[in-house]
């Protein structure tokens, strides 16, 4: 079976851990327990022709120590930049992290605007959207709480990576 490493990146508290938990376990927790280091979860996705095992690298918020641990990206087939629609600054932080990540990998990048069950503190106007959209291969409006677009996002990523032999991890 092929394996694909996918990193979740973004500022603290945007919902990286919650997205993985919702996708892998179908659980959501209101309590905030900040991540330290990295935790890897696995889930098998069945595509039409074959199964893909996603290895989800849930990484601590990159604003924590003001350093970007690019070594976490080694071997990644894709990364998800998670931003929080209730906090405007998280978009700027997400784009900064994306810029840094681009210095070490050219793999597909996905934007997840999370917490879509809560009122939005910001919305992109047409010009902003036009400049942001080309930076990402896919983008989603997710909720780790309701599960909206969570499975759809990981499925779309698996499909995008399917057939892309680069960065396959074989066991
Ligand atoms: N309403 C709502 N709350 C969310 C959502 N996603 C995460 N949260 C809450 O936001 C807080 C932070 O979520 P985490 O998943 O721990 O965020 P994180 O990005 O992993 O944070 P760090 O590990 O510190 O980088 C928690 O209290 C979650 O319950 C969501 O989609 N909707
Ligand atoms: Mg976390």
Lowest mean pLDDT among 58-62, 65-69, 115-119, 159-163: 65-69
Contact 60 CB / ligand 1 (< 6 Å): yes
Q: Would you call 83 helix, strand, or coil by DSSP?
A: strand
Q: Give the model confidence (pLDDT) of 75-86 as tens digits.
A: 999 999 999 999
Nearest to 83 by CA among 118, 47, 31, 134: 118
Contact 12 CB / ligand 1 (< 6 Å): yes
Q: In this predicted structure, what is the pLDDT of residue 68? A: 73
- For the chain, the domain total comes to 1
Instruction: Supply the range of the domain harboring residue 134.
Output: 2-170
CATH number at residue 119: 3.40.50.300
Indicate the pairing of strand 78-84 with strand 38-46.
unpaired
Predicted model pTM: 0.94
Banded model confidence at residue 1, pLDDT cuts 50, 70, 90:
confident
35 and 60 Cβ atoms separated by less than 8 Å: yes
Lowest mean pLDDT among 22-26, 45-49, 72-76, 143-147: 45-49
Ligand nearest, relative to CA of residue 149: 1
Alpha helix (H) residue ranges in 6-88? 16-25
Q: In this predicted structure, what is the pLDDT of residue 52? A: 94
C-alpha of residue 166 to centroid of ligand 1, in Å = 31
Q: Give the model confidence (pLDDT) of 29-58 as tens digits.
A: 999 999 999 999 999 999 988 899 999 999
77 and 157 Cβ atoms separated by less than 8 Å: no
The whole-angstrom separation of Cα 32 and Cα 51 is 33
């Amino acid at each position: 079976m092929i394996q694909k490493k996918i990193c979740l990146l973004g500022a603290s508290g945007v919902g990286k851990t919650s997205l993985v938990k919702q996708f892998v376990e179908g659980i959501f927790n209101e309590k905030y327990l900040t991540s330290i280091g990295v935790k890897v979860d696995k889930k098998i996705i069945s595509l039409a022709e074959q199964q893909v095992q996603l290895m989800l690298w849930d990484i601590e918020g990159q604003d924590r120590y003001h350093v970007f641990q690019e070594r976490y990206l080694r071997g990644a087939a894709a990364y998800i930049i998670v931003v929080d629609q209730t906090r405007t600054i998280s978009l700027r932080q997400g784009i900064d992290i994306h810029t840094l990540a681009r210095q070490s990998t050219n793999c597909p990048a996905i934007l997840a605007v999370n917490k879509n069950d809560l009122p939005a503190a910001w919305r992109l106007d047409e010009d902003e959207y036009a400049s942001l959209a080309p930076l990402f291969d896919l983008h989603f409006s997710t909720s780790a709480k309701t599960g909206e677009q969570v499975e759809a996002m990981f499925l779309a990523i698996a499909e995008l990576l399917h057939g892309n032999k680069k960065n396959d991890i074989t066991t």
